[in-house]
Structure 1
Amino acid sequence: MAQAILQNIIDQLQELETEELHQLNQVIEQHITVKMQTESENAFEQALLESGLVKEIKKPTYRNVTTEQLIKVDGKPLSETIIEERR
Structure 2
Amino acid sequence: MSEVILNQIFNQLEMLELFELHQLNRAIHKYLTEKQATTQQAKFHQALLTSGLVKKFNHLSYSQLTERQLIQVQGKPVSETIIEERR
Normalising by the residue count of structure 1, what TM-score does the alignment of the two structures yield? 0.71
Aligned to 1:74: none
1:30 alignment partner AA: K
Aligned to 2:60: 60
Does residue 35 of structure 1 match 2:31?
Answer: no
1:58 CA displacement: 1.5
1:47 CA displacement: 0.5
| Deviation beyond 3 Å, 4+ runs, structure 1 | 68-71
Q: Which of 66, 74, 77 is equivalent to 1:78?
A: 74
Identity between Structure 1 and Structure 2 (%): 39
Alpha carbons of structure 1 residues 69 and 51: separation in structure 2 relative to 1, 3 Å: closer
Larger RCO: Structure 1 or Structure 2 (Cα < 8 Å, ≥ 6 residues apart)?
Answer: 1
Structure 2 unaligned spans of 5+: 82-87
Query: If you compute each CA radius of gyration, which structure gives the higher value, 1 or 2?
Result: 1
Structure 1 unaligned spans of 5+: 72-76
User: How large is the RMSD of aligned CA atoms in angstroms?
Assistant: 2.3
State how many pairs are aligned: 75
